[in-house]
Amino acid sequence: MTATESTASDERRTNEIDRAVMFSYQYVPGGRFTIEDVLEWQPRSLEGAYRTYTITYENAPSYRAYLFVDVDDDRESETGGPESGTTLTTGRITGSPPETNRSYVTVDLEKPAMG
């Protein structure tokens, strides 16, 4: 890996979220979604400090889902996190927060391919 590749990779990590928690029933594999709003709410069953976003899936724009970003993992916490209108895609499930009894899943988030 070259210094340029490393710098680009480090820059991506500091400017974007790359993992979040969702209700398992709201997860759509490979679902392209847009961040709508930030909420001042977090479910009691989700331990730790999370920032809550409402999202809409591209293929079901009237359906709202929740995306929970760990504040410690939120690379943009100094600027308030991802902005409304940011488009991302759900990646693979990487587990479930241990305290949630599988009602939540941790998912990778990816920038959608242009085209």
Strands 32-39 and 50-57: antiparallel
pLDDT in tens, 16-68: 789 999 999 999 999 999 999 999 998 888 888 899 999 999 999 999 999 99
Cα atoms found within 13 Å of the Cα of residue 104, Cβ hemisphere only: 20
Six-digit token pair at 70? 């760990």
Q: What is the pTM of this model?
A: 0.78
pLDDT in tens, 88-111: 999 999 998 887 777 999 999 998
How far apart, in whole angstroms, are the C-alpha atoms of residue 23 and residue 65? 8
Q: How far is CA 8 from the centre of its chain?
A: 20
Are 64 and 79 a contacting pair, CB within 8 Å? no
Provide the 8-state DSSP code for 74.
-
| Average pLDDT of span 6-21 | 59
